[in-house]
Amino acid sequence: MTTLVSTTDTLTRDALAVLQPGFTGTTAPDWLLRRVGEGLASVGLFGRNITSPEQLSALTERLRSEREDVLVAIDEEGGDVTRLEVTHGSSFPGNFALGSVDDVDLTRAVAQELGRRLAECGVNLNWAPSADVNSNPGNPVIGVRSFGADTRLAARHTAAYIEGLQAAGVAACTKHFPGHGDTAVDSHLALPRIDVDLDTLHARELVPFRAAIAAGSKSVMSAHILLPALDPDRPATLSPQILTGLLRQELGYDGLIVTDAVEMDAIAGTYGIERGSVLALAAGADAICVGGGLADEETVLRLRDALVAAVRSGDLTEERLADAAARVRALASWTQRVRGDIRESGAAVQEGTAPGTGVSSDIGLVAARRAVRVTGSGDRLTGASYVASFSAVANIAVGDETPWGIAAELERILPGTGSDTYTDQSTAPADAILAAAGERRIVAVVRDEHRHAWMGAALDALLAARPDTIVVEMGLPQSDPRGSLHIATHGAARVCGLAAAEAITGTKA
């Protein structure tokens, strides 16, 4: 057992420092401010905490009145996963759209403008990008959050994204190490398992993470996945072989290691959040992400006390806890220093560009337009249409509170356009769509049709009755596009819907 040399106050402060909790509401609660004053070094924000840039700026300013160097983290991937614009959809296409364009300068520019907007609101740590190679098209949790299934493409865009984001003064958190792309299970709900050999892992999953390390990613997020080739017993988040042996020693990574949320069932349902957090730190993690589902003071105190108790019992060494806390504080210091450098350099603002970057302030729409692929010989829309959106339950990372689709844009461009949403619970959806559309041309909007048999069946019936139907795929497109026109957006961000509406009508917003 390690001999204790620290005071209880020091242990408590270090235990608080390694937590990245969330909270409810759009203002910082008193308990959170109190814990920040006591040593809590990070706070995680989610869509529930944000209503506008002005409100977010006031929130982060209040947090910094308690601790100037507090890390304010957010899960802002752009595309389908947005917290900054949760109520109306993202102004930036996601990774898959950027990968489909395959212009690393564009990816870098998108990430830099996204980072600038985050930094402007006081956010300095982004739990992004996803470096996962989406090798399994049936993956229920990654999909369009990945740059694609091509390993080298994913690697070069991961690096470009990190460079752009961190050029804006926001630390990147590359995820989900060592790679979540070949899973068929959502780790929010259970523990996924990837049964591939070491050669495959090194040739596929690990390549983008090597690129991320070379690009200087300030943090890396672990995945709650079991990889028997690396550790047959524990998921990556809790594995010394993976976090310390592979990431630290073999790959030479020296930045902050953050866990994915410990309240996800892959950890909470198997180990419990207290033991899971202790095991994660002992394995080599430096920061414990918690607060997407558990967002209260009791959770913070439970984890703080569990870490202190683990040091006292010898389950976690005092040195490991102190090292983890020091890494958190070092990242906080970097964010302060780099933001000061950016403000001081103050690049000239050009018309049509984002302040201090030289990047187009409309870069998200520019990128979304470039990502659209149109196939088929059908005519474009010139009059009122009927938009049928086929909606499945969104995975938890995406959430179901963010709107998606193209109905609103088409209704604006073509007055008289109607719309409705259909699910796997809809009775005879094709018949209902035909009745609702009447004489109007139909636009069927799907997301990952290949993963949902009911969508495919409904679309088959619809196309048989109305061959002039336009199909818009806002998820992973398949090899055989169908419809008189087929529009692939490579993501469901608001700007992807706008770009699709422009392509269908031949007009610009």
Backbone angles phi, psi at 221, to 5 degrees: -105, 135
Cite the beta strand spans of 130-225 per DSSP E. 171-177, 219-222
Three-state SS annotation for 80-112:
CECCCCCCCCCCCCCHHHHHHHCCHHHHHHHHH
Return the pLDDT at 360.
65
pLDDT tens profile 275-331: 999 999 999 999 999 988 889 999 999 999 999 999 999 999 999 999 999 999 999
Residues annotated as part of the active site: 188, 260
Contact 373, 473 (CB under 8 A): no
Burial class (CB in 10 A: 0-12, 13-18, 19+), 197: exposed
Residue 346, pLDDT > 80, answer: no
Residue 2, pLDDT > 80, answer: no
Minimum mean pLDDT among 112-116, 335-339, 396-400: which range?
396-400
Query: Residues 394-405: what's their mean pLDDT?
Result: 78
C-alpha 36: how far from chain center: 25
What mean pLDDT, rounded, does the chain reach? Answer: 92
CA distance to 147, 251, 287, 342, per residue, from 213 (Å): 17, 8, 18, 22
Query: Residues 164-190: what's their mean pLDDT?
Result: 89
- Strand, helix or coil for residue 389: strand
pTM for the predicted model, two decimal places:
0.94
Please indicate whether residue 84 or residue 186 has the higher confidence score (pLDDT): 84
CATH architecture of the domain with range 18-339: Alpha-Beta Barrel (3.20)
pLDDT tens profile 210-223: 999 999 999 999 99
In 3D space, the residue among 187, 209, 79 whose CA is nearest the CA of residue 131 turns out to be: 209
Please give the structure tokens belonging to residue 229: 């080739």
- Strand, helix or coil for residue 201: helix
Give CA–CA dist 64/410, Å, rounded.
43
What one-character DSSP code corresponds to residue 243? I
Return the pLDDT at 140.
80
Cis peptide before 176 (omega within 30 of 0): yes
Query: Residues 32-50: what's their mean pLDDT?
Result: 96
Three-state SS annotation for 184-200:
CCCCCCCCCECCCCHHH
Please give the structure tokens belonging to residue 467: 């061959």
Query: Residues 383-388: what's their mean pLDDT?
Result: 96
Residue 442, pLDDT > 50, answer: yes
Question: Is CATH 3.40.50 the right assignment for the domain spanning 371-503?
Answer: yes
Question: In the β-sheet with 373-375, what is the strand arrangement from edge to edge?
Answer: 373-375, 485-488, 470-473, 441-446, 385-390, 418-422
Where are the chain's structural domains? 18-339, 371-503
Quickly state the pLDDT bin for 137 (edges 50, 70, 90).
Answer: confident
Query: In terms of C-beta distances under 8 Å and separation of at least 24 residues, what long-range contacts does 29-36 make, across chains too?
Result: 29/297, 31/297, 32/63, 32/297, 33/62, 33/63, 33/66, 35/297, 35/300, 36/63, 36/66, 36/67, 36/70
Quickly state the pLDDT bin for 183 (edges 50, 70, 90).
Answer: confident
Q: Between β-strands 470-473 and 485-488, what pairing exists: parallel, antiparallel or unpaired?
A: parallel
CA distance to 39, 107, 176, 250, 401, per residue, from 300 (Å): 12, 36, 24, 33, 26
